[in-house]
Amino acid sequence: MVLGGLPDVGIRPRFPAMTAMATTTTFRADAKVMGLVGTAHFSSHFFQLALAPLFPILTTQFGVSYAEMGLVITVFYIASGICQAFAGIFVDRFGARPMLALGLSLLAGSIALAGLATQYWMLLPLAILAGIGNSVFHPADFSILTAKIDKTRIGRAYSIHALLGTIGYAMAPVVILTLAATLGDWRLALLVPGLAGVAIAIILWRSPTLVVEPSHLRGHKDGGDPAAFSYARLITTPAIVASFFYFVFTAGASIGLTSFSVSAFSEIYNLIDAEKLKLASYALTAFLVSSASGMLVGGIIADRTTRHHIVAVSGMSAAACFMLILAFGGVSLLAAIALMALAGLSHGITAPSRDMLVRAATPAGATGKVFGFVYSGLDVGSWLVPWFFGSFIDHHTPQYVFLTSAIMFAFAIVTVMQVRKRSVPRPA
């Protein structure tokens, strides 16, 4: 999470902060941009989870273990993380709309082709291609939103963007498993959404609403000189580095909770049969629904305050405290569900302010580069930590799932303070 360019507290980043590039626009025009970009982000998150619900079928189909299927997901996030760090360069150079359409075509097409795979090994190169396609979404999405949305609504635009991504996660298991059951074929359950994603990519490609002048040209008009800011210099700036690690820590905490909280609650409360296990899933549902609701609230807050760092620190602090209570509080299952909901709400509220802080630390003309690099932290956090959380369950220490999440939220707070500490004081 990332902080820099905070005029209200008398500090500024090492680069001149990006100016508000969006001109005054109507709500209707902004809503159309939010809808198209949000649909792309929804699709990205949907396809990220398209394979996972089918693991019980695929392990039998291909005669492999869950660990081997997990490798497919790891390969995906490694490819996405590495490429996302550099995808912003292409977004800034060639424009966000063509890169967004190309990325979605590659991601959705890879999922469709996965439905035609006849051997396990075929999934691995497809996961790499899908990860490469997934890498363009954050730099392209934020380049479009930052350039097209009126500055008075940019916080809400960021919140809707984050919300639709979360809904994509939530919808993937439901849609994929429903299609598999209805059509009677897991292959069609991948092929149909994959082809639909390619169709959406064509719509994005042909949409004049998403046309944005490449950032390297727009930056000159906004008073920035992108040539003066080499990519190496950008990504080694304290504000940008802190942003990257913010995403690593928050993604690690989130992926740990979404992947292992049900298993942790199952062991803590001895929920051994399917009916009781369903109770543990309510806690995860509460976390995700509250997180989505918090994003909407956070968007309103982000548009009404300039102190986005306070919103970020407060939300992360609250989430860390709720995780500590879950780890050591010995609370009832009902109270645990409530605490997960409060943690999700606190975490969700920070998302729009987080993106506003990244925006404030971004030099004019470098939107794609900066957002691409810092958001690659999400992929790094997503593939680094699952092994650790899984080992907590294997070693019968489920409370460490929540303790580790609390520690990661606390580290996210440290990144905010580091940015403030290393920012250059504003001259008198």
pLDDT for the residue numbered 87: 84
* CA–CA distance, 183 with 341 (Å, rounded to integer): 35
pLDDT for the residue numbered 4: 36
Q: What is the CA radius of gyration of the chain?
A: 21
Identify any residues that bridge with 12 across adjacent strands, giving them in sequence order. 424
pLDDT for the residue numbered 277: 63
C-alpha angle 255-256-260 in degrees, rounded to nearest 5: 115
* CA–CA distance, 263 with 283 (Å, rounded to integer): 11
Q: Give, for all 428 residues of the chain, the pLDDT tens digit.
A: 333 333 333 334 444 444 444 455 788 888 898 999 999 999 999 998 888 878 878 888 999 887 788 788 888 988 988 888 788 888 888 888 899 999 999 999 999 999 999 999 999 999 999 999 999 998 888 888 888 888 888 888 888 888 898 888 878 888 888 898 899 899 999 999 999 999 999 999 988 877 776 554 554 444 444 444 577 777 778 888 888 898 899 888 988 887 778 778 888 888 776 566 667 778 888 888 898 889 889 888 888 887 888 888 999 999 999 999 999 988 999 999 999 999 999 999 988 887 777 777 777 777 777 877 887 888 788 777 777 787 787 788 889 989 999 999 999 998 877 655 544 333 33
Cα separations in angstroms, 8 against 5, 179, 326, 331, 428: 9, 51, 36, 41, 14
pLDDT for the residue numbered 124: 95
* CA–CA distance, 237 with 376 (Å, rounded to integer): 16
User: By the 8 A CB rule, do 393 and 264 touch?
Assistant: yes
pLDDT for the residue numbered 426: 36
145's CB contacts (< 8 A; 6+ apart) are: 33, 34, 37, 154, 157, 158, 161
Q: Where do the domains of the chain lie?
A: 22-212, 224-423
* CA–CA distance, 311 with 414 (Å, rounded to integer): 14
Question: Which is nearest to 166 in space by CA: 293, 292, 323?
Answer: 292
206's CB contacts (< 8 A; 6+ apart) are: none
For 12, phi then psi, to 5°, come to -145, 155
Pick the CATH number of 22-212 from 1.10.3720.10, 3.30.1490.270, 1.20.1250.20, 2.60.40.420: 1.20.1250.20
Cα separations in angstroms, 22 against 93, 142, 154: 19, 12, 9
User: By the 8 A CB rule, do 361 and 3 touch?
Assistant: yes
Q: Residue holding tokens 């409060």?
A: 342
Element (H, E) at 109: helix 96-114
pLDDT for the residue numbered 193: 96
Topology adopted by domain 224-423: Growth Hormone; Chain: A; (1.20.1250)
pLDDT for the residue numbered 273: 60
Q: Can you say whether the dihedral through the CA atoms of 228, 233, 238, 239 is positive or negative?
A: positive
Same fold, 22-212 and 224-423: yes
